[in-house]
Structure 1
């Protein structure tokens, strides 16, 4: 366990925790029924587990695969491939994984700008590609001979033309800077609660209200590509209903499963790294007592830095 500064809230694993949490993990060696997978974490290579997963049992799949970059994931390192070979790698699992999705399921797949180029041709072979969300990462290393890279993509796909999308669940609450009124003096397209002036806006495919997890946030782990809970919450609320099953085949440190649990969905996560699986299980246990999602409260997504950290999401 690393030594942390007093205010550092990064989630760690003690040796005893690792031993205890690892007992909750499962691996698959034969075909299993869907009910055996509800709210579980599978610790296994995706291609080894995939043949044993049931058909058409997933309502929403959120995928955050290794981007085509050099990145170390605990004991494993992903090395970049040429453009064509990366597309082949995507195809090895993207085609076979489609069978676990219900006919009305939705799929979100994360990428950076370069990975997106290789990903789109593969996605359109198997799914109906409906949109590409771009979200501001806020962080990013500067470059002297290039533009600083501070955004990522999320491809929105569906299995068919029959799919669920709840736009009202993901509206953004924005402050009004120029509060126009009608001739009768009433607010025009905005609301006034006696102090705060705001409007609810429809979500676009450009998201600038996301904060990447960092050391002072209670959701932070040492996973190198951890996605924010707020980001995943938008996907889950938009494209699933209460008690739907959300599946993440590259679970990492567990964000998709944790957010699904906080929002009243069932979940299944699959991850090859045992330590990340244990982190996911620890975060799931912590979610029993704290269901707060930073930046989301009272059923509303707030702009970055406008919501007090003390406000809690109420399901």
Structure 2
């Protein structure tokens, strides 16, 4: 699959039919990709919230620091980072393709601005409301219980993005689906091969893919982590390219993907 996507040969960290995982710098790998090959992008970039603070996990106080990849020295550096990867994603996205990006107050305003600066038009601002968020230990503000997911397309009058309106309506008891999605944090059963600090629940990625992709579409995740996007793609028979710079997380990704049984046949 990667032969028709990359401008030079890259050896994947893991590969099976319709799925390739690459270990390395996301910027370098994105730059090596051919233009307009990707149908849909899902990105869960660093939120840059590692500031030495504390949160609650499993009833215990834990440090919020996730690693060097989640810290940055200034707003300007954060915004430059977001503009750079978003522009690279725009290059590889097909004219009618769309991009989904997760974030919190720590990064989402920069992401939204970078999208518009890079020539994207935001379609929806999804609010993911968590039913079981960790408590606020400081007790000096409201409990953080939501994340934002921006859905955008290229800002071009000819762009015609795909949206499976009827399916979303059928999944919502015959009513138009709203832009507030409610559900739990990632289940422990989805972390049986190992833990990633910002792993998204499978139901969230399944809804995103069912809403905006067709059977056999090619999906890219430039910060794939433990690869919930890849798991959802294999389950729903979408083709997938995942990139991450951490071999430990890609090892978890490999085992998760190998354990999945597809639900539908790929056609086209």
Which of the five TM-score ranges fits, normalised by the shorter chain? 0.7 to 0.9
**Hey, what does 1:222 align to over in structure 2?**
195
State the SS of the aligned residue for 2:114.
Answer: helix
Deviation for aligned residue 1:144? 1.0
Asked if residue 31 in structure 1 is aligned to residue 8 in structure 2, the reply is yes
Tell me the TM-score normalized by structure 2.
Answer: 0.80
* Residues 7, 34 of structure 2: 8 Å contact kept: no
The equivalent residue for 1:282 is 255
How big is the shift at 1:150? 0.7
Matches of 2:101 and 2:71, distance apart in 1: 20
**1:49 matched to which residue of 2?**
29
Gaps of 5+ in 2: 51-63
1:15-45: per-residue Cα shift (whole Å, max 9, x none)?
A: xxxxxxxxxxxxx996249xx9941000111
| Equivalent in 156, 162, 165 of residue 163 of structure 2 | 165
Aligned to 1:125: 117
Provide the rounded CA distance (Å) in 1 between the counterparts of 2:198 and 2:20: 22
Alpha carbons of structure 1 residues 314 and 201: separation in structure 2 relative to 1, 3 Å = farther
Which residue number in structure 2 is paired with residue 111 of structure 1? Answer: 103
Measure how far apart 1:68 and its partner are: 2.2
1:73 CA drift (Å): 4.7
Counterpart-to-counterpart distance in 1, 2:208 and 2:171: 17
Shift of 1:228: 0.6
Assess if the C-alpha contact under 8 Å between 1:43 and 1:277 holds in 2.
Answer: yes
Q: Per-residue CA shift, 1:184-218, capped at 9, x if unaligned?
A: xxxxxxxxxxxxxxx3322111111x221132x24
Aligned-partner Cα distance in 2 for 1:219–1:203 = 29
| Structure with larger Rg | 1
1:156 — aligned with what? 151
1:241 matched to 2:233? The reply is no
Hey, what's the Cα distance between the residues in 2 that align with 1:77 and 1:86? 12
Does the alignment pair 1:201 with 2:175?
yes
Does the 8 A contact of 1:68 with 1:81 survive in 2?
no
- SS of equivalent to 1:277: helix
CA distance in 2: counterparts of 1:172 and 1:150, whole angstroms: 27
- Alpha-carbon distance between aligned partners in 1 of 2:143 and 2:199, rounded to the nearest angstrom: 20
The Cα of 1:61 is off from its aligned counterpart by: 0.2
> What's the CA shift string for 1:217-237, capped at 9, x where partnerless?
245541000001100111101
Cα gap change, 1:73 to 1:271, in 2 (>3 Å): farther
Residue 96, structure 1, aligned to residue 113, structure 2: no
Secondary structure of the equivalent of 1:109?
A: strand
Deviation beyond 3 Å, 4+ runs, structure 1: 71-74, 171-174, 218-221
- Contact 1:67–1:111 under 8 Å retained in 2: yes
CA contact (8 A) 2:49 2:65 kept: no
Report what 1:11 is aligned to.
none
